[in-house]
Amino acid sequence: MIAEEAHTLGMRAERLGERALILRDLPIAPHVAADALMEVAGVQEAVASYETVGVYFYDRVRSVQEVTSTLSDALSLVQTVDEGGVLRTIPVCYEFGEDLRATAEQLDLPEDEVISVHLSVEYLCFAVGFAPGFGYLGYLPEAIAGVGRLDTPRTRVEPGSVAITGRQTAVYPQATPGGWRMIGRTPLTMVDVEDDYFPLSAGDRVRFTRIDAREFERLRGERL
């Protein structure tokens, strides 16, 4: 009987059909792991998501344990490599955060503390999706993590809205529907579809800085 799951050095692999595995509990960032696994013989494609990597093979996977060991060996060679990515600095005016007060109340924190905690860490862009240029950034510090989505999503979220939910934060790059909690807004242009401008990529690092409404107007329309 073919094993459907395997564990190697903390990493967990689950079978996904005859020629694919899903890797969980990775020792390094998913996008870094995906790049490294593309160099393994027999791997056709490796696709990173928020916390996992899907690995697709040219041939049928006969032994999940054996293949997982091979993949783990490959990842062990890059565990000490700098995860890289471009550092993006995004100015945020928290005065424009429509949900900031309600979010602070839900967290039982002062609004200024929610802001300070949000500013306190450097985030990693795990994936880009949902809408062009929408980067899933993590992880939120524990103090402001766990906030749920809106019960009724907005039909329109303004471009540049900075929002949080669960363990993630993000910037809505375009006007779209959305259910995350908006705690601020950036004046920067995050994407330009007509000009094929999509600067944020998986693996980039993001740090937010606080600005006031006057600085917001001064920076309005500048590109990330």
> Does 168 have pLDDT greater than 70?
yes
Say whether both 213 and 171 belong to one domain.
yes
Overall number of domains in the chain: 2
Last residue of a domain, one of 20, 55, 76: 76
Q: What is the pLDDT of residues 186-211, one digit of tens each?
A: 999 999 999 999 999 888 999 999 99
Supply the range of the domain harboring residue 49: 5-76
Judgement on whether residues 124 and 152 belong to the same structural domain of the protein: yes
Q: Is residue 65 part of a domain?
A: yes
Mean pLDDT over residues 56-76, rounded? 92
CATH of the domain at 211: 2.40.100.10
Q: Are residues 92 and 153 in the same domain?
A: yes
- ∠ Cα 204 92 162 (to 5°): 70
Q: Which residue has the tokens 């996008």?
A: 31
Q: Would you state the pLDDT for residue 1?
A: 36
Q: By the 8 A CB rule, do 203 and 85 touch?
A: yes
Nearest-angstrom CA–CA distance, 123 and 120: 10
Specify the CATH number for the domain of residue 26: 3.90.1150.10
pLDDT band (50, 70, 90) for residue 84: low
In eight-state DSSP terms, residue 150 is P
Q: What is the pLDDT of residues 97-156, one digit of tens each?
A: 999 999 999 999 999 999 999 999 999 888 788 889 999 898 899 999 999 999 999 999
For residue 224, tell me if it sits in a domain. no
Strand bridging mode 154-157 / 176-178: antiparallel
Same domain (yes/no): 44, 92: no
Closest CA to 13 of 77, 64, 51: 64
Residue at a domain's end among 48, 76, 104: 76
Q: Closest by alpha carbon to 32, among 21, 43, 45, 46?
A: 46
The whole-chain average pLDDT of the chain stands at 91
Same domain, 21 and 95: no
Same domain for 116 and 68: no
Establish if 130 belongs to a structural domain.
yes
Q: Give the pLDDT of residue 34.
A: 86
